[in-house]
Every structure is written in C-alpha cells, then in structure tokens.
Amino acid sequence: EAIKSKSDSNWRNYGPLQINWDSWQVMNGSHVAPTLHENGRSIYLAINCPLRRLNATGTDGTWKDWIYPADKFEYKLIDDLCNSNKS
C-alpha cells in the first residue's frame, strides 16, 4: 500500500532508505517518519537534531539504540532534516 501512495508524497532517497519527507512528526523531542528500506521492509526512522543521533525500528517494530551517523547518507540526512527545521 505504501508504494502506491509514493506519487502523492515527497519521498527522498538516502542510501538504502526512502523517507516520506512530508510526514516527519515530533515525538519526545525527536523527528520521526515512516521509511522504506531497500529490502522492502517498512520501518520508522527517528532523528534527534540536538544530539545528532538516529534510531530506527527493527523488524519487530521496537526501537533500537540511538546511534551516531557513520555513513555519508546518514550525515546528509541529519543535515538536511535538522537544517531545514531551524528557524
């Protein structure tokens, strides 16, 4: 179902991830958005701008541990999101 609605939304690609950019929501001080992984799984991605860390749900839907960005696409994702939300 998520694939069909991609044309209606602003999906952006970062490494193995496709993120529904228009759906970011703030939860507990972090930005959370539904994301598609290249393996076909739907996950949620969370980014904490002040800490510059990210998190994602696992295959069972539970959150993993917060991590620092390691790959170029992770740094770009944090920069794009956090810089766009500064006013």
What is the reported pLDDT for 1? Answer: 40
The confidence score (pLDDT) of residue 85 equals: 65
Tokens of 43: 């996950």
Amino acid (1-letter code) at residue 45: L
62 vs 15: CA distance, rounded Å: 22
Per residue in 20-29, pLDDT tens?
A: 999 999 999 9
The rounded average pLDDT for each run of 10 residues, N- to C-terminus, in the chain (87 residues) is 56 96 94 95 96 93 96 97 75
